[in-house]
Amino acid sequence: MTSVRTVRLDADIDLLDVAGADGVVFENGSDGLAGRGEALRIEVPNTSPDGLAVVTDALAQIDVEDEIARPGTGAVAFAAIPFASDAPAAFVVPRITVGRAADGTRWVTRADGATDDVAAPVVDEPRARHFEVEAVQDPDQWMDAVRLATKHIADGDFDKVVLARELLVTADAPISRSGLLRRLRRSFPGCFSFAIDSMVGASPELLVSRSGDMVHAHPMAGTAPRGGDPTADARLAASLLASAKDRAEHQITIDMVWETLLPYCSYVDSEPEPSVVAVANVQHLASLVEGRLSQPAASVLELVSALHPTPAVSGWPLDAALRHLAAHEDLDRDRYAGAVGWVDAGGNGTFAVGIRSAILQGTTARLFAGVGVVSDSDPAAELAETDAKFQAVLSAILRP
């Protein structure tokens, strides 16, 4: 691949129609990008700064003709980065990419003179009708793992660790990636909807975005259920805001994000108090962090490498929490709780935390849900929280 050309697009188009059955999508409300085909695949050995620099170098080698010149135009690569920073990852530059911004600007980028139609051909996918759902970890044994973690916290080994569970869904036909994403987008319109390679999801949490010299993060930690009764949900939200456990868990993450971004910025600010962000089935404590990057501005990939994994998906202190997970979590997270998003040749981009997601492979789907375990965590309550989080994607898979 040697060149891309970006031009304005007059007609609006559903980004899921651009991606079709096997393209890439990353969308949040009226902002988003979608593409299909593979003009360039950039393999990286790991997601360290040196590993991700390979992506920056590869994008810089592409000749760009761009009549719009804004974040998300020109050469853009998409990736779903694994949770483990020493695992390899792949970034893909599509043959055709369509973008849409909140101000109404739309564009199409074509690689090496691609002449594909903007919308993908319609594919009649088989429809799964019967499903089996299996808990990979025995629930009682998983609660024992929570008890063990609280013991280590009491012994001073670490302050917090995020333990995940896995569900395996098996269907009688291949699970439709595009159908699942459409249902997730309908159910969670305020989330980052994405489909990259075999990973599909709707994440509520922004890991980091960079647009020019501005950087944003929206970390979340602390969760309460949500059932649809406005009065009951408001009471649960008030309890979440008042919870010493959840506020302490949240503050660990905010402090880490703020302190990590500070060396890259001329200023960083965060909201003085967390707010409650509600999605369809749960609600989270969240705080917006914003900064202005010092010059030369760091690429979004540098910021991803510095921030990931946050305490919201790993624990704190980081090294001790990761050691505990390696020894006791008893699952391979793959790209769950990694970083999913896009980067352009100018270093702009947006990455969400890869939660509320499924990893699809033919007739199977792997689902994950995690909880932050702290000193006073109750194993049964933590198990119930994972069940609530599973429902976001599980219900979308099982729904006809």
Could you give the residue numbers annotated as active site?
160, 205
Order of all β-strands in the sheet with 89-93: 40-44, 89-93, 76-81, 339-344, 349-353, 206-211, 214-218, 289-293, 265-270
**Edge-first strand listing for the sheet containing 220-225:** 220-225, 282-286, 275-278
Burial of 396 (0-12, 13-18, 19+ CB in 10 A): buried
E strand or H helix at 147: helix 139-154
The answer to whether 301 touches 55, Cβ cutoff 8 Å, is yes
Check whether the bond before 296 is cis (ω within 30° of 0): yes
Q: Which residues contact 15 (CB under 8 A, 6 or more apart)?
A: 25, 27, 32, 33, 34, 98, 100
Of residues 325, 313, 330, 323, the one with CA closest to residue 137: 330
User: Position 293: which residue type?
Assistant: L
Q: How far apart are CA 248 and CA 207, in angstroms?
A: 20
Which residues, in sequence order, are CB contacts of 146 under 8 Å at separation 6+?
Answer: 163, 373, 377, 379, 382, 383
**Residue 209 to residue 228: CA distance in whole angstroms:** 31
Collect all residues with Cβ–Cβ distance below 8 Å to 327 and sequence separation of at least 6: none
